[in-house]
Each structure stands twice: as C-alpha cells, then as structure tokens.
Structure 1
C-alpha cells in the first residue's frame, strides 16, 4: 500500500494491473458517494506526494469504488468557506491547483476510469490525467454556474484546451451533465466502454503509452500551453458567446458570462497564469449574494429530497393508479405517470373528455419524440399504458387515485365518495385541489385516513412541485404512498398541513392582494409587471393572473377571503372581479389584462389592450406616484409575511421547504433564495420596519406577526448565518 486514508487509497498492482502500475481509488468511508470535502482534498495532496516519492512506477489509474466517480466538491462547506473572504478563497484554490498540477506532472502516464457521475471538482480531477476512459452510463460536466460560481480548480483552463473553446463554453456556461457519447464526440474522453471493461480499457491505454504508441507527454503539454486561437478566432469564439449567453442567462445570473471571460483572459496564458485568473474570478463570484442564495437553495433542495426519501421508504408499492377527470390537468397527470413507468386509468363521464385527455397526453409524447428523447416505439408503449374508461370496471385493482375534476367542493366530495365505494380498502385517494380544505373533503369518506391532497401545478409536465396535503385524519401511510408516487413521477413533493390554499396559493394571494391595492392607487399594471419581472419573477402579477385564469383566481380568492377574512376579504369589487364580469378570463379566451395573439410558433403573445386599460380605470381610487422600490415592497411584503405565517402556523415544517415550494411552485426568483432568505438578506429588523410602515396605510395584510417582531428585536434569522 502506497497510501491509505479515510477517502483515498493508493496501491500497486490493484485489480488486474501489474506491480509497476498504481491505482488511486476514491472510496469515502461511511458515504454512498464520493465528494471533495476539504479533508478529502488534503488527503489527495498527501496521496500525490506519496506517488511522487514512489520509485519505478510506469503509470497511474484513478478510479472510484462507488457507483459514482466524484459528484463534486462538498457543497455543505461552501457558505463557511465563502465567509472567510476573497483572499482566503484565492489562496485555497491555488493550493488545490498545486495538488491537481502535481497529478498532471507525474513522471509517468495517467488515466482516469470514469465509472459514474464526474461533476464539478470530480470532473476537474478527471481533466488532470493524460487520458480518460468512460463507462457507457457515466456522465461528466461542470455545473458550477448553476450555483452562481464558476469552475475554480482548473475547469476553465483545461477543458478549453482539451475540447476547444466553443465546446468548453457550451459545457461550462450551460452547466450541463454530458453523456459518455457526447464526451467522446467532443474529445473529452478517449474511449467509452461497458462498465465491466473499464479497468481493462484504462490499463490498455497505459500499456500503449508506455510502449510509445500513445504520446502522453504531447497530450499533457497541450493542456499547459495557451489556446491555439488567432485574434479573429478568439473574437468569434468569445465575444459572440458572451452576447448569446448573457441573453440566455439574464442579468441576475452573472456566472455563465464571467466563466467565458475567464476562459478568454486565460486563453493566451500558460497554465499557472491562467489558473491564477480563474482562482481570482471564482473568489469574487463566491462572495456574491447570488452564489450565497443558490448554494443555499441546493442545500434546501437536498433537505427536501431527504425528507421525501424517508417517506418513500415507508410506502406501499403502486402497480396501477387512476385519475378522475380527463381535462388538460387529467391528461397531463396521465402523461406524467405513464412516461415514468406507472400505468394509469383515466376516467371521465364523457367520451369527448377522454379524447381530450388522450390528445393532451399524445401531444406531450409527440414533443418528446420530436426532440429525440423518445422513440416512436417507446411512445406507443407508454401511451398504451394510459387506459381511458367511462366506468369503474377496473378500479378494484387501483392502488392510488388522483381526483382532478372541477374545483368545486360539492362535486369533488360526491366524486370521492363514489369512487371510494369502487376500490379496495387499502387504496389511497387523493385530490388535486388547489384551495379546498382536505379535511372538509374527507367529511363524507368512510376511510378518511386513506385520503390526502396531491396538488399539481399547471402545466403538469413542466412544474416540478407537488404539494402533498395532510388533512386532520390523514394517515402517515397515505402521505408516504402519495410522496412516493410523486417521486416516481419525477416530481418534488413537499408535505404541508391543511388550510385554505395550503402553502403556495395561500402565499400567492396576498401577493395578488398587494397588486390590487397598487392598481387602486393608480399604479400602471403594465409598469408593475415590468418592475416585478426586472426583480426576477418570470412574469409580472397581471400577466400571471392572465395565465392562471381570472375565473380561477377569483374562486381561489374567495376561498382565501373566507379562511383569512381579516387580511384577505374585500368589501368592494377588485379588478379581478371586474375582468370576470366582462368575460376577460385571460389567455384561455385571449383577453384579460392583455389581449393575446398567436406568435410564429402558435403560442399566445400578449399585447396591450385599450379595453382592459379602460376597465382598470374603474377601480382607481387615487393617483399616487410609485418608485420601483415602492412597487417591489408593496408586492413582496405581503407574500413574505404570509410565508412567515405558514411557518409559524405549522403549515410547513421548515424555512427550506417553504422557500423551495415557492421556487418550484410559482417561480419565485431562485437567485433571491426564497421568501424567507429574502427577509434574511434584507435583515429581519429592516423587513419588519418596512412592513410596519406599510401596514399603517394599507392594513393587516402588511402587519408583521408578533413572533417576527421578536425575531427582529433579538437579531434572529430564518437560516443560520
């Protein structure tokens, strides 16, 4: 044994290799994956030093004993490391460069055997070796820009020299995970083989390098030298890319463009100078609010997945599911279930509704075929696992049912009671309601313990969130089965407790309430949309209401007003009510706050509409001037306060789950971290001060809770600093 650590071993003659070949194996103890924590990086430095001291070696294989290679750096350490400041981060990265450079400079050929995910820092380890072989199922990539940073351990230096500037920009700016076939085509790896041939392929490459057939020294030198681009080629590669990527990423996400600038600045430099440029740029991005929030979101997402995984372990297996109601939502649910491998019955009372549901599913499958993500044969198989029916004939075998009929408590209650009599006692019933109390819907059920909410967001195939709503009598078994099914469908389930609107809609409607008040005080709704879109929302509140549907919003608003009359009830007509009265329902009938025309792709395109503007004037009670900051405060304060109330009321278990639900469910700007991280960023005391000032004029919707005031007084935060 050359070296033995907690995560790394180095041995001669490992596997089927001869005694003059060393194998460095990553195998982090007590973990299911390999990741590069500070401790593991320190071990890697010691292991490389041991290799440098070893005599008579002819080659090195770097491998993994896990199912993955290395998933990247240990992101749980990031906030603590970032807090140490720019100088510390630069120095830290340069020390890692020294270790990685030592691998690259070993006096014998090196090869990495990539058996699974090699991402971020794991990919940067891979790039240090002279050669790379990859199993057919493995993936490789540098996703750092998705965390608001850039590759800081040589990715911006080595990858462009290996696969060319254009390809490297695409990988790094996009943060993509790339399949083995794509990596081979790009030249990122030298061979792709079945997993059981990985070691043999790596050893074969070392043998060919030792014999002189493969010139490893030339390959190595190419990674150390400046990029071979003349000034015109540099301009074409970098300037064009910066413009395109800036347009795609948007002004709130600077990392992709900064990564291109780093590649560009280092293009004419030798290895050490290019790495110094990379280390400095990494440190600057790491200290940004965007990086702080995106790293926080990653950790919150891991917490949400971990909690869902615990529920999933307790769940019964689901062989067959059913959806009641075959509209756009029902068809979308059926598609999602079938596409992920769970057969589903789709029932409606009308033949034309079933045809519409199948049409929706077929349309979504066809798009997958057009994008070459699905073969026509696979599409036919998956589509056939959706079985339309007008009767309950086969429902005796169904394990879980999603009721997705019209959003009316009486209709839903009748349908749920009816289907309960047609299924086995263990069948889980769920309702895809967006606002109606699960406890109320369970009142007429014989087995309320088998019932919970399963709230999908529209469009089902795109929106990642599913709210799993626990009623007063809902059992853990029902929740576990529903969470497991949501995970099987590729969704992110978050368990919440029952109340009007649950979590996401309960939080969203105070946001619309703030919008109503702005409009009534003379704010131009189109300007409000633009300000909130600039703030980071995918669409402003008026546009969002058009997409949701004015009638749906009005109904949900009534449920909210009944549940929380002090904050959300209105005596007078709102602009939403007036729009409904004038049959302006939004995109569904091509007129709402905006009128809608089809663009070249057949999608609705909003245009200003004089008729809508005239209706808005009917609710204006005052004429006030609002700054952009005023608009943001009036929109964001009620949304954030309602999130706080949901946490205090026990509707959601943790700040992380609350923030992830808003990001996944209504598109809260990810770079701002969620509503509770947004409060933390402002400072709880400053947020309370703003809320109290607004509540004096605008009432209870803007009034902070007593507990939030206490947090402000004591300097508490929702997330630890």
Structure 2
C-alpha cells in the first residue's frame, strides 16, 4: 500500500517507522470527506491494522488551504432517506473507531480549517497539533446546517474537553483558534508559524521515541473536569443549557438532538454513538435542515466571483485592492477601517479637522481594544493592528491607495462634494465607493469625471459582526469596478450581494415596510413589547421596534424619506418618527426610543409615551390559515410582497440572493429560509388571499404584487 498510487492520499513509510498519510483531494480548493475519500481511508486503515513495523501514523494535508473542511455538504444534501443516512453515519463511525483503536499511536497535524468530519477524524487520533495562525479554525459547525456531528463528535469531544466546552462548541457551531483549542485540551500543541516545521519534526520524534504530548492540566481546569464526572453536576449543567435554549429548540431541533446524544455518551447502559446516529438521521429531512442547507449553498454561490463577475479574470487589471482610504471616522468609517486592518490592509482615514481626527482616533482605539480583548491578544499584536490605521486631514495621502470608501453624513450634497474632492487626489485606476444605505449611487456619480470607477459599498452596522455587504451598481459603473469590489469584499471575509441602484437597494427596501408597519401598529395602540415578542417567536433575533432602536430612529427617518417612490403610506411612518427624533429619543444611542435603556435591562415604553396621538385600529378580517399569528402576518407579509417585487424588478440578478441577503443582513429567521422561501412554504394562493384581506383592512400598501397575482392564477 505504501507504494500504491491512490487518488486522494499520498502514503510513505520511512526508516524510523513513521507512516505519513497525506490528503489532497484533487479538483477541490479544500479537502472534504466524500465517499471516495472515505473508501480510500478505509483501505489505509485495513493495512495499518496488520502492520507491526509502524511506530507512528501521521495524518496531514498537503493543501496549504487547510487540513479538512469536513464532510462534502453536497453529498449530505443528496441524502434522501433515513436508511441511507444511517448507513453513511455507521460507516463513518466504525471507520473512525478503527482509527482510534489502531495498535500504534496516531497524530493529526492541523492547519487551516479542521471542521466537522475533519475534527471528528482528528479526535479519533491520539494526539493533535495545530499551526497557531489566523487561518486555523477548529470546530464542529454541523448545528449551523440543522444537523449534529454524526461521526462520533458528540461522543469524543466531551471526553477530550469536558462537558462545558463540548456543549458550547457543538451547540453554537463556533470554531476555535489553535491557541483556544490548546487551552481547553482539544489540541496538544499550538505552534507559531515561524516554528512550525521544526516543532512538527520535534513532536514526531518525541512520539516515535515513545514519549507523550500530554500536558499537566491547570488546577482549576482539573477541578472543573473532576466535578463534571459527578452525575448531579452534569445533570445540572444540562438542565441549565436546555432552559437557556428552550425558546430556540422548537425551530432548531438539532439543539435538543445534540444534547441528547452528548448526555447518552455519559450513560453506561446506553450506546451514545447509536443515539448520535439516530438523532442525525431524524434531522436530515427536517424543514429546518433543508432551509439551512439551501442557505449554505446560496452563501457559497454569493462568495464565488463568477456569480457576480463571470469575466473577472479578464476584467480585473493590475494588482487587487491592498491599500485603502476611508473618508470619515464615524461609527461606519472606523468600523470599515478596523475590518480592513484585521485582514492586513493598510488604511488611511481622512477627517475634516484635527478635532474630528482626535475623536476618530479614539473611536478606532476603542474598537481595536475591544477586538483585542475578545481575541486575548497581547499588547504587541494589538499595536500591530493599530499601526495599520493612520488618520489625518489631507486628501493627498490618498495618492497611493487602490480604493477610497466615503462614509460621511447621509446627505447627497455633502457626499457629492467629498467624492469630487477625493477623485482629484487618487490615481486614475483607483476606485471610489460610497457607504450609503439609501442614497442613489447614480445621482452621486454626477459629480465625478470617472463614474465608471464608482459604486456603492453598503456595509451593515456593526461592521465587524455583519457579514453582508451590498455592492451597488450605478448606471455607469463598469464591470471591472464591480469585479474589483466583489473581490475586495470577499478578501474582508464578508459575503457580497450585487444590487441595482434601486431605492433602499435590496435589504432596506424589503426590511423597511416591515419596520414601518410596526411603527403604524404602535400608533394604533399595540404594545411595544407584544409586537417584538411575536416576531421573536417567528424567529427574528429581535423584534422590529428594538431593531429600529439599534439602527437609530434618526437613520430610520432618513431611510423613510428616501423610500417614498416605492412605499405607500410612508408619510404616516415619518409622522411618528419625526417628533421622536426632534426630542432626541432616537433609540439605543440616546438611551430612549421605543425602549428605555437607562436601567439594567431595556424596558418597552408605554405606547402613549412614544406616539403623540393614536388612531383607531381597523376592523379584523378572517384570514386563511398560514401558521402565523395576526401580528406576525401583518408584519411579515409586507416583506414577502416587497421581496417578490424585488425579484420581478431584477434588483438582484439571482432570486436566491434575496433570501440570503435578508438572512445575513437582518437575521430573518434562518430556519424559514428567507422571505421568498416563506411564500413557497405558505403557498401563493394563501399569501394572495391574506394580502387581499390585509388590503381591505389596512389600505393600499398591502396591494399584492402583480407577480403574486400571476403566480396564483397558474
């Protein structure tokens, strides 16, 4: 076997008895575990079980991109029966169990992503070492697909890191850095990149000589793990976790399934692997799993350059964007600068005067300090990041940048003036972009001499958390500019969606009718807390009124004024928001909006405190059952209708991008898949009938889209 040519593995056995198993799946940017890879791995294990001359087996990847991204998600999507799922899970469990019981020690050498089935393979090994750099990501993300680990992850991870850490990793799907993984005992060594080669050789030599990599555990960690062995303590931890997740488990059944599999792994009279397998098989065809899989593939398509710029290799001339300029060091400008610096970009921020530079510098410092604490960086690493960002008042410092992003106040005249000034200072090949949430990119470009080099880049707040970026194409924006900006957004680790220059672009256009309707409901006397609670039950991360407070009612008022061309009754929304803004009750940043934030917890305010006058609610109509409450229906249907209109008007080129953008940009209930998916689930006939009732009850803003009328007739 050591001389046999396999398609996915390269094998070698040296004179020291070191057997190297190197994985490189051809034609894939990342290694994945599919049927062919697993078949060859089984052949390798067959031989290893019979060898007496092997002193150590080393599993590694020869792809620089990483160790193993997990099981092939495309293959998971094709599973169409419980029997097929059970067979595939059993094969994987049995194969990894055989690796775990090989007669010689085994070592997994990790770099880059080690996720899902990749980590389950590594957990079956005796030892794990990992390269300590930013590309190393170690975790079990199956919960994000509505599934649980199915090849032993729910059983081996708790044994390795304890119940507390295992619950956290599996139920959140979060990944760890090499250093974080070493801290909890998941890997035995986290090796700096500059010591990687020498340390790997040293580790292998230690193991071949019969040594061990096990570390003496810290006393506090040892005490915690000892307590976890007590059934009473474990039961208490599980109960607390179940209560914390009770509100989510109905929509995300994988949460309860993971807990049951982990708990059974501690039972002496229960086969935890069988529980894991059974729970996985029951999840594979749930609506939640299918919608999350669909969103996964949509995200992959959105991050593919060919989706938005089919001729990207021909279109992008010269070097990619590496040096960035930002105009304005407010919340958005500072956030964009931080996000770029984290990814290695040098960033220069231009402000109007010395005072603004000082305020902007302090804002950048706070962002970086908070990020550094979260990452547990030392002062040197924090200083390195801060040094990538400079601030000043001179435009001439933009002479050598590749792209300038304007992030000043949302006023057309101000933006046009600032952009025209910046264009004079940048190179002819450099790109200008505006971070606007609602203003017309095409109108803004009228102040420029090179409008083909100009587009919108709509980042969402807070920049460091929000994955979506809308790349807005103006009427004169060139394909090459779009290609460059899509490439830049991807380099920031974010997901681009290219939109046309429509009022509100995509996300705000679909979202605002929902937010506006919530405001109108308050004007009718509906309680703030009740409205938000109903929408959290629908699956939103927060209710519409609390979201408005987080966005800022001043920002919402500005967006409302820009949407008059596409939204009926927007004047009524403006009428409610204007006095709140005038009283500086603009939400979280002023401590009062629809909620009062001056105490320990936000408290919903009384309706009479928020609106200056109330109107009589309309009479109730009888609705066709659609699984929604009256409040949910009234708020969600405007989003469904606007999503249909955006699809019909080709605001984005691909319909699937509408659902993805709403999930990433607003947190739209992921288990429902997005607004267009909700229409499909409810059925066009039912949606149409209920919209007609809503129109009769509340007015013409609920007029069904023409495409919905046509779809219902077919």
What TM-score range do you get, normalising by the shorter chain?
Answer: 0.7 to 0.9
**SS state at 1:146 partner:** helix
> What residue number does 1:631 align with?
631
Moved more, 377-386 or 640-649: 377-386
> What residue number does 2:62 align with?
65
Deviation at 1:452, TM superposition (A): 0.7
2:664 counterpart of 1:664: yes
> What residue number does 2:92 align with?
96
Tell me the TM-score normalised to structure 2 length. Answer: 0.86
| Residues 235, 88 of structure 1: alpha-carbon distance in 2 compared, 3 angstrom cutoff | farther
- Cα offsets for 1:335-374 (capped at 9, x unmatched): 3333433233322334332222222111112223333544
2:157 to 156, 159, 163: 159
> What residue number does 2:265 align with?
266
Distance 1:691 1:323 in 2: 44
**SS state at 2:497 partner:** strand
Q: Within 5 Å, which residues of 2 pair with 1:269-668?
A: 269=268, 273-307=271-305, 314=316, 316-561=319-564, 563-564=565-566, 567=568, 569-570=570-571, 574-580=575-581, 583-597=584-598, 599=600, 605-610=601-606, 612-613=608-609, 615=611, 617-622=613-618, 629-668=629-668
Moved more, 36-45 or 57-66: 57-66
| Residues 155, 572 of structure 1: alpha-carbon distance in 2 compared, 3 angstrom cutoff | closer
Distance 1:606 1:208 in 2: 61
Distance 1:95 1:341 in 2: 42
Moved more, 115-124 or 632-641: 115-124
Distance 1:266 1:102 in 2: 18
| Residues 26, 449 of structure 1: alpha-carbon distance in 2 compared, 3 angstrom cutoff | same
Deviation at 1:244, TM superposition (A): 3.5
**SS state at 1:425 partner:** coil
**SS state at 2:341 partner:** helix
Deviation at 1:475, TM superposition (A): 1.0
Aligned residues of 2:692 and 2:703 also touching (Cα < 8 A): yes
Deviation at 1:559, TM superposition (A): 1.3
**SS state at 2:658 partner:** helix
| Residues 69, 659 of structure 1: alpha-carbon distance in 2 compared, 3 angstrom cutoff | same
Distance 2:94 2:599 in 1: 57
**SS state at 1:597 partner:** coil
Aligned residues of 1:321 and 1:345 also touching (Cα < 8 A): yes
Q: Which runs of 5+ in 1 are unaligned?
A: 217-227, 600-604, 715-721
Distance 1:387 1:192 in 2: 32
Distance 1:3 1:712 in 2: 63
Distance 1:338 1:56 in 2: 50
| Residues 242, 3 of structure 1: alpha-carbon distance in 2 compared, 3 angstrom cutoff | farther
**SS state at 1:466 partner:** strand
Aligned residues of 2:324 and 2:345 also touching (Cα < 8 A): yes
- Cα offsets for 1:475-525 (capped at 9, x unmatched): 122223333333344433221111111111111111123324434554333
Distance 1:399 1:545 in 2: 35
> What residue number does 2:166 align with?
168
Distance 2:394 2:517 in 1: 46
- Cα offsets for 1:303-355 (capped at 9, x unmatched): 11113897586364335332223333333333333343323332233433222
| Residues 713, 51 of structure 1: alpha-carbon distance in 2 compared, 3 angstrom cutoff | farther
- Cα offsets for 1:38-78 (capped at 9, x unmatched): 33323333443455567866654333332322210111222
Aligned residues of 2:335 and 2:463 also touching (Cα < 8 A): yes
Moved more, 679-688 or 636-645: 679-688
- Cα offsets for 1:519-547 (capped at 9, x unmatched): 45543333111111222222222222222
- Cα offsets for 1:269-301 (capped at 9, x unmatched): 37x922111111122233333222222222222
Deviation at 1:474, TM superposition (A): 0.5
Deviation at 1:188, TM superposition (A): 3.5
Aligned residues of 1:518 and 1:631 also touching (Cα < 8 A): no
Deviation at 1:206, TM superposition (A): 5.8
Deviation at 1:143, TM superposition (A): 2.1
| Residues 613, 304 of structure 1: alpha-carbon distance in 2 compared, 3 angstrom cutoff | same
| Residues 208, 423 of structure 1: alpha-carbon distance in 2 compared, 3 angstrom cutoff | closer
Deviation at 1:154, TM superposition (A): 0.9
- Cα offsets for 1:79-122 (capped at 9, x unmatched): 221x32x3432333123222223333444444433344322111
1:42 to 39, 44, 48: 39
**SS state at 1:72 partner:** coil
Distance 1:338 1:25 in 2: 34
Distance 1:351 1:166 in 2: 49
Distance 2:374 2:120 in 1: 30
> What residue number does 2:220 align with?
none
> What residue number does 2:23 align with?
26
| Residues 320, 8 of structure 1: alpha-carbon distance in 2 compared, 3 angstrom cutoff | closer
Tell me the TM-score normalised to structure 1 length. Answer: 0.85
Aligned residues of 1:10 and 1:22 also touching (Cα < 8 A): no
> What residue number does 1:244 align with?
241
**SS state at 1:463 partner:** coil
Aligned residues of 1:647 and 1:658 also touching (Cα < 8 A): yes
Moved more, 551-560 or 688-697: 688-697
Q: Which runs of 5+ in 2 are unaligned?
A: 215-224
Deviation at 1:247, TM superposition (A): 1.9
Distance 1:680 1:298 in 2: 18
Distance 2:384 2:569 in 1: 48
Moved more, 145-154 or 182-191: 182-191
**SS state at 2:78 partner:** helix
**SS state at 2:486 partner:** helix
Distance 2:197 2:610 in 1: 70
Moved more, 187-196 or 526-535: 187-196
Deviation at 1:240, TM superposition (A): 1.5
> What residue number does 1:717 align with?
none
